[in-house]
Chains A and B, each alone.
Chain A
Amino acid sequence: MGTAAIQQSSALTKDGIFVEIARLLERFRAGEATITSETVIAEDLTMDSLQVMDLMMELEDRFDVSIPLNLVPEIATVGQLADTIYASKTGA
């Protein structure tokens, strides 16, 4: 199994998706606080509304899913974001 395939299969688990999101959010981390599934995107990170929308676009491409803008107001935490992507990916 090639590296790309390994990354693909690990990303398909909820944990794998969370790890990938946390990696992309690293640049918005405030101070020493670590990113957990309870991290509130709009409050605990240094992102404005435009950066949140741009992050969604990046995640759509990373996981080849659609994350409609209509869903964004309902996604408060990093954990909920991972759940949304997992549900889109698996049709759950």
Chain B
Amino acid sequence: MGLLDRFKTIREVHGAVKACGADPFGVKMDRIVSATEAVIEGRPTILCGSNNYLGLTFDPDCIAAAQRATEEFGTGTTGSRIANGSYFCHKALETDLADFYGKKHCMVFTTGYQANLGAISTLVGPGDFVIIDADSHASIYDACKLGSATVIRFRHNDPVDLDKRLQRIAHEPGNKLVVVEGIYSMLGDHAPLKEFVEVKKKHGAYILVDEAHSMGVMGKTGRGLLEQEGVDADIDFVTGTFSKSMGAIGGFLVSDHPDFDILRVACRPYMFTASMPPSLVASVRASLAKLRAHPELMVRLWRNVDTLYHGLEAAGFKLGRQKGPVVAVHINDPALAARAWHGLLQNGVYVNLALPPATPSGTALLRCSVCAAHSTEQLRRVTDVITKVGLELGIIADRSVRIAAAE
């Protein structure tokens, strides 16, 4: 058997997807024009699948901060925090984030993936339990593989199911860490956090919330779902990323845990990788300051969410149940979804194609993400193109037909 022969099934599935006319997982962006526009295959294209929720990637202040930091501190740190030291800016960003979340401690990681990998694999160990939502992101599943705790999976967003599974291990002496996400990246739904907090308290467990898609998106000041639900003080650990609303790359863990700093010499995904380069640390600090000074960015984002969500809903598409900056268009047939995705690209609209098993319950999705920097005209154009392609491929029926059917 050849070295990579075991990927035969993946090769076949990927081949079938590419039969739509393009490779949804290998799109080449010729040029990025702004937070919301690119040139793809020579075509001007509206970006509606970039997770760039606040549209800060081209913010002049963030760019200037990154440029200054590069000139002052160089292009990279060329090593890890434990080997090459923490730069002033790393510590400053950690102080900024701890202050933003109202927690005592913060650790910055090089990516959001590594933040989950490091936090979850290190917080619990042999004899402990990590109890994860069934629809968790790959970084959470991979963290479970890296760590040595016993892994239990509970039904997505179901506090009663979590309670039942914690009850089954109630007699076990180990620590228990429950892991949930603020907004789930595929369907855009969010966790019933108040109920989860009640369950974790009942069982004396800890809870970690990954606010990757909800930071800068939810809550009065942008702290995420925990702020919106008013449970800040009950959340033991928060992870997140700088690659979405913060417009860069990197990740973090914040907590009030008194022994937090031991993680800096115990957490391998923190210790054995090069630290964030000064330019990105500076741009993230500038993005966070921008969010704190301009919460109206979130108002603009949610106004745009309304435009896209209600536009697609009115056209007859089946969407994710909870409205938010991830707008997932359900298409039950993966091949049809791939054709629709390619149709959008040919009409100058970029969204994500999401297929099982990366999606829950075997659903294929055209996954759109909304940006505060989208203009209403851009979002109307996106809605029109998705509707046109949806009608052409028979994903939705013509409005007059639907009205007649309803009568």
Contact = CB atoms under 8 A, between A and B. Distances in A.
Contacts of A70: 144, 150-151
Interface residues of B, number: 15
Contacts of B92: none
B165 A60 contact: yes
A69 B357 contact: no
B197 interface: no
Given A48-B356, A49-B357, A66 B152 contact: yes
Given A57-B134, A66-B168, A50 B356 contact: yes
B27 interface: no
A48 B155 contact: no
Interface string A48-63: 1110011011001100
Contacts of A31: none
Given A68-B152, A69-B153, A53 B134 contact: yes
Contacts of B29: none
Contacts of A50: 356-357, 362
A66 B134 contact: no
Greatest chain A CB density within 10 A among B134, B150, B153, B169 is at B153
A58 to B, nearest CB: 10
A42 B362 CA distance: 17
A64 interface: yes
Interface in B149-196: 150-155, 164-165, 168-169
Interface in B333-366: 356-357, 362
Given A49-B357, A50-B357, A54-B134, A65 B152 contact: no
A31 to B, nearest CB: 18
Interface of A: 48-50, 53-54, 56-57, 60-61, 64-66, 68-70
